Structure 1
């Protein structure tokens, strides 16, 4: 259900973190002011899935791609090489999709209760994919770069999207979070520099930290993959 790949050393993770902070003028605030949760890059779950006609996703994806490649090209290349070997197939970053990007939670946004949405990663449905795409073969990944002092991770349940769809059609549940009552929860701890990979079709949630320190921060590189004609297409 979960795979782990070491991508960066502790020192390399800290260096990427510093580079992200060096681009703070390009962070996009998310949520109410004063903002403490930001993205660097263009997540489709925020800029496309909720309002596909607005055009924000494509504009932001096109604008951020050169900046992200210039700043983190070596990281993207390493990540693609490692994933390609792990998955046994080529990995590609399509030019019309947003690059995997960064979530930045400053201390005020780090939460201590499980209030993050319980969900499946379904944002690929907002795209038109080329022939040869198999949307039953998807993946999601998180590369932590810095975590709160109390740690951070992922809550995962042994429930699949197919189970959710069937239960919903039968009227047994109203939403994805209802599945929590019938399935075992697993906590997946994160380690800076170690990428966690799972199917976006497995029920999951950003896990809370047990406490928050004044200088805490949760910084991760996020992305998704879809199988298409013999290779994995990575995007955010």
Structure 2
């Protein structure tokens, strides 16, 4: 297994990749491609408008993943190939292993959340509490030696953005519902009182191995004209290199 000194949950730090001008340029590029976004609805309590540009293992079914990836991958390469190269080089420098984009799977893509002042802060409306195991749904021609998840925020609401995370979660806490609104009150209260927060900075990439329990944080009330936008992806380490996908 690779070292974890790059993992934000194990002493790692965010990697500053983009200045404000570069982030604004990427957001404008993305907004011009809104006709190619995929509308997503993942939870019954979802309030925020949520779209992706690109396929995502945890969102798409076996039937939709391939077609969405086939349509979006060329667009991501053509419009954001420079960003994907920059991200890959930064991961290689930080982890000590080269990177390559998966030839067969979806490329890292964008999550686009529209602000919604109706949603209060806290665990509710923040998505599921989970670990990342997208590699379990795919086959790779090598032994997986490590895993990686990446988030590169490029637009953050005024109230902030980040992840809630938990350490030393009792096994019993991971066997029940993963969405806070479906949890028994005592389970939801445990997660609420034990949560820790890592904040995001626009242009600074966060890496972790995906295996720390975490949740997309909803730290404050967003305004309707705001966006929360990030590049998201995963990686598996095999044959000496990270293979990046989403």
CA-CA distance at 1:94 after TM superposition: 1.1
CA distance in 2, matches of 1:225, 1:130: 14
Aligned partner of 1:20 among 27, 30, 33: 30
1:118 is matched with which residue: 129, 136, 154?
129
The aligned residue for residue 148 of structure 2 is 139
Change (3 A) 1:35 1:26: farther
Matched, 1:73 2:81: yes
Structure showing the higher strand proportion among its residues? 1
Distance in 2, Cα, partners of 1:122 & 1:96: 18
Moved over 4 A (4+): 32-35, 176-180
Q: What RMSD in Å do the two structures reach over aligned CA positions?
A: 2.5
Distance 2:27 2:118 in 1: 17
- TM-score between the two structures when normalised by the length of structure 2: 0.82
Residue 96 of structure 1 pairs with residue 104 of structure 2: yes
* Residue in 2 that maps onto 1:42: 55
Unaligned stretches of 5+ residues in structure 1: none
* Partner SS for 1:108: coil
Query: Could you tell me how far 1:175 is from its partner in structure 2?
Result: 3.0
How far apart, in 2, do the equivalents of 1:229 and 1:184 lie?
A: 38
Q: What CA distance in whole angstroms lies between the structure 2 residues aligned with 1:173 and 1:121?
A: 13
**In the alignment, what sits opposite 2:181?**
none
Distance in 1 (CA, whole Å) between partners of 2:48 and 2:190 is 33
Where 2:167 maps in the other structure, the secondary structure is: strand
Q: Which runs of 5 or more residues in structure 2 are unaligned?
A: 1-6, 179-186
Q: TM-score, normalized by length of structure 1?
A: 0.85
